[in-house]
Amino acid sequence: MVAPELSKLNSSPMAKSPIRNKASSCFSDVFLYLGGALLAFLLIWSLWSYAGNFEPNVTDLNIKVGSDSRSCVKENPAVNLRYDPPDRTFYDDPELRYSIEQPVKDWDEKRKEWLKLHPSFAPGARDRVVMLTGSQSGPCKNPIGDHFLLRFFKNKVDYCRIHGYDIFYNNVLLHPKMNSFWAKLPTVKAAMLAHPEAEWIWWVDSDAMFTDMEYKLPLRRYDYKNHNLVVHGWAKLIYEAKSWTALNAGVFLIRNCQWSMDFMDTWAKMGPMGPEFQKWGQIQRSLFKDKLFPASDDQSALIYLLYKDKRLMDKIYLEGEYYFEGYWLEIVPTYDNITEMYTAIERGDGKLRRRHAEKVSEQYGAFREPHLKGAGNGKGSWRRPFITHFTGCQPCSGDHNKMYEGDSCWKGMVRALNFADNQVLRKYGFVHPDLLDSKTVVETPFDYPDEGPW
């Protein structure tokens, strides 16, 4: 039944006529049709746009996992590796040459401009380091030489990973004449151009290894007086003894700046690419009476430059306060005593025994420093030597110095590699119990090395 009120309403003069209702219905259908067509168009357009930009920039996403806001990706990484603006830089100069023969001018300004165009690299640039090392392009003559080089390189990779440094391994001659010990200079020059974001380039010979994985370069020390080149050496041996071993050029740290570019131009001209290469060998040997071979070498050339121009000491830092590189023959026999001393420190300090992620290793190095104040540095110290350098061992050729008896070089390298590897493996829960046995490892118990009441 229809209620009386509704019956009256339908018969009133204000009630809608059937014709008006039909027209309204038509208009509604039109609008619905047009709206549906528009919606379909927008949907197709959106899908097409998405297909045209298929690869999203994941660093721009704010992804939430669960309900914990700490697991969100809230900002872009500190360094943007996918941003290189179209602005012209020194890389766009067709006259730019990476060769050691071609001088580079205005390098400080070019680096500064590049960093300005790549602002994500600017924070931390002052402390950014790129390590370089390398070897010959062919296989080693010594049957186990390639294995040793691989382990030496692994050691450097471990150190760089722990401290956040980049590393480049070169095994080709970047200048056909600059071979042997001179091959490092063309590599360093090319690395400076390839890494304008880095303040320091650090050359480490293939036969040198890190034996203190916690120690970090004291870069502020070299900033204090704006030193641009750091080598292990002693001024007294240069200016008084005039010795060929007054410094060691197998490990050096050089600032990525115009001064370094100019200095390497001068240094390299004393090598095989220079027109007076033979003459330089004679001059070096006449000055340094303990020099063993007649040809000009990079180490003798560097000592000669310092000897002839003492003003270079304002820019070149002779590091002798720690083992920036140390002679293996005096270091290897100390590993057992050092291990015992460090173990005793850890037994007395629970912070150092705590298991932790490898990424925070530097903090535990800082925790250890107060315990090492009495350890000293250099010869006779029970502090871990920073770098052990196997000069004269020639792991690739096998033609080691005749002064080293039997297999002392090979045993020394194995002990050093496992001594360093124990510092790395410890973060993964294992250690080598015997430094001469590379194959065997044991799992470290909880609270290692505190195995009982002491």
Residues of the chain with CATH 3.90.550.10: 90-324
Cis preceding linkage at 453, omega within 30: no
What does the pLDDT read at residue 159? 98
Identity (one letter) of the amino acid at 19?
I
Q: Is the confidence at residue 243, as pLDDT, over 60?
A: yes
| Burial of 86 per CB tally in 10 Å (0-12, 13-18, 19+) | exposed
Q: Is 398 left (phi over 0), alpha (psi -120 to 50) or beta?
A: left
Q: How confident is the model at residue 403 (pLDDT cuts 50, 70, 90)?
A: confident
Q: What is the pTM of this model?
A: 0.82
The 10s digit of each residue's pLDDT in 275-328 is 999 999 999 999 999 998 999 999 999 999 999 999 999 999 999 999 999 999
What does the pLDDT read at residue 58? 31
The fold of 90-324 is Spore Coat Polysaccharide Biosynthesis Protein SpsA; Chain A (3.90.550)
Query: How confident is the model over 72-78, as a mean pLDDT?
Result: 53
Q: How confident is the model at residue 38 (pLDDT cuts 50, 70, 90)?
A: low
Q: Please state which of the ranges 45-49, 156-160, 184-188 shows the lowest mean pLDDT.
A: 45-49
Neighbouring CB atoms inside 10 A of 271's CB total 25
